Amino acid sequence: HRLFDRGLAYVGTDYRSNTLWDEYIKYEESLQAWSNLAVVYTRILEHPIQQLDRYFNCLKELTATRSLSEILTAEETSMYCLTVENSAQVLDGEAHPNDVEKTAEPEVSSSTEAEDKAKYVSIREELFRKAKEYESKIFNFEQAIRRPYFHVKPLDKPELENWHSYLDFIEKEEDINKVIKLYERCVIACASYSEFWIRYVQCMEDRQSLELANNALARATHVFVKKQTEIHLFSARFKELNGDTDGARAEYQHLHSVLYPGLLEAIVKHANMEHRLGDKESACLVYEKAIAAEKEKEQSQLLPMLLIQYSRFLYMVGDLEKAREISGGLHGLANLTKPVLEAVIFLESIFQSEKRIDLLESLVEKFLTAEQTQGELASLSDKEELSSIYLEFLDTFGDVQSIKKATTRHTILFSRKRSILPSKKRRADDAVMSGRDKMAKTGDGTQPGMGTDPNAHNPAVWPATSEASAQQWGAAYAQQAAYPAYGAYDYSQQMPQSAPQAAAYGAYPPTYPAQ
């Protein structure tokens, strides 16, 4: 009995727990313990599990073939004989010893055996009806669960969505035990998905069950999704929110120093936390340690973004001089990318001091004139966009000579290329075209039409003259008017790949809010 009760305490209320209940029934039948068997059937009817109709019919059959003295427990017998009207108290199989003394056999009552059996069944029929009503609400959710067990193979999107919908439904329940039971079932099948562990922790926290929340979080970070960045970032924020700053600090350090050395998002969030705690020196130390580690590498792709974020952080906390000094370290780096140069231009624009236009010019010139061995089309687009951003910067902070130089370069590199290259292709097409084909295209056999000029079909996007080009700049880089947050960084490019996820549950914003 105790072994079955231990197992049923864990899974006895699960929708698919009928197989365990069946084994319990077989055990009681083998002992011919009819009263215990009746109690098992009564317990089953309290829960919305599979095959409830079969269990209710089995109970009715047991009641019909056995006398009440055989199917009632000693406690039930005492209460049953006390009064028929109070028989509803038999539902939970518990007795109230203060009401009446226990007796081994039922006393003779005024009602007949058949009437007593009918009332016994009707009480359990009410349990059955309530359980069936609840089962109808969860039936579709349960049927959509195709894989209730754990497997390394990713779950498909509909099944993940079904788990979220089922959890949405169950969280409306006041009974926290039902909520916990479903979450525990969920994190078996979805053990590799941080989003469900995070949701479990948040749900327990909302219900003021921090012990359960910490228990789920520990299992996630130490066992099931211990190599996923999302869970450690969430854990750090959760611990900070609940006053465990040492634990939050340990999570960040483990993430950006041990698990994924140099993870930019963890470094930035760690520094921001130290600043929130009022320790600016510790915040700066987080950046400086990471920068020192990256400088030891021959070629570090992370170093430019670390310098940008550190400079931006210093600017936001009011240390303008040091922010400008850190940003100056970017100018000596080789092979700067477009996002890095955008950030350099942005930082230079916000520093309240004389603009270092000569330095910016050298960086932009190097980027725009660098030869690309592959991806030329994408590179040309990036170069043109950066050139437009730099032109707008100069329009605000530059002098006439710097604007003229950048304008001429932009026209040569981009405006003329986009007008000349299509024209060459058009002339090549004309060279192989017959005279009759040409006249057919003009629509007139004697007079040239509007389309005879090879350039007419491909008008220059940018006028060739500098004066006209100046008039077109507004349209050309109007899209750049709203600068992106140059201090932002796309963490997805650096984020380590973890177990397959569905939607990005709790996706991180592209920029950090002001400290």
The DSSP annotation for 267-321 comes to HHHHHHHHHHTT-HHHHHHHHHHHHHHHHTSSS-SSHHHHHHHHHHHHHHTT-HH
Average pLDDT over residues 238-261: 96
- Give pLDDT, residue 68: 86
Q: What is the DSSP string of 361-390?
A: HHHHHHHHH---SS-HHHHHHHHHHHHHHH
Least reliable range by pLDDT among 5-9, 41-45, 289-293, 415-419? 415-419
Average pLDDT over residues 420-441: 46
- Give pLDDT, residue 376: 52
Residue pLDDT, tens place only, 149-161: 999 999 999 999 9
Average pLDDT over residues 453-477: 35
Do residues 505 and 194 lie in contact, with contact meaning Cβ atoms separated by under 8 Å?
A: yes
Going from N- to C-terminal start, the domains of the chain cover: 1-86+112-139, 149-226, 334-415
- Give pLDDT, residue 490: 52
Least reliable range by pLDDT among 3-7, 334-338, 384-388? 334-338
- Residue 447 predicted with pLDDT over 80: no
Name the percent of the chain lying above pLDDT 70: 73
Whole-model pTM: value is 0.71
State how far the Cα of 60 lies from the Cα of 38, in Å rounded to an integer. Answer: 10
- Give pLDDT, residue 145: 95
- Give pLDDT, residue 179: 96
Of 14 and 502, the structure prediction assigns the larger pLDDT to 14
- Residue 442 predicted with pLDDT over 60: no
Residue pLDDT, tens place only, 367-382: 888 776 555 555 788 8
- Give pLDDT, residue 249: 97
Of 465 and 153, the structure prediction assigns the larger pLDDT to 153
- Residue 18 predicted with pLDDT over 60: yes
**Would you state the torsion angle of the CA atoms of residues 362, 368, 373, 376, taken in this order, to the nearest 10 degrees?**
160
- Residue 278 predicted with pLDDT over 70: yes
CA atoms within 13 A on the CB side of 269: 28
Least reliable range by pLDDT among 52-61, 252-261, 452-461, 483-492? 452-461
State how far the Cα of 130 lies from the Cα of 126, in Å rounded to an integer. Answer: 6
Residue pLDDT, tens place only, 161-203: 999 999 999 999 989 999 999 999 999 999 999 999 999 999 9
- Residue 416 predicted with pLDDT over 70: no
Residue pLDDT, tens place only, 102-141: 333 444 344 578 888 888 999 999 999 999 999 999 999 9
Of 415 and 271, the structure prediction assigns the larger pLDDT to 271
Buried b (16+ CB within 10 A) or exposed e, 400-434: eebeeebbebbbebbbeeebeebbeebeeeeeeee
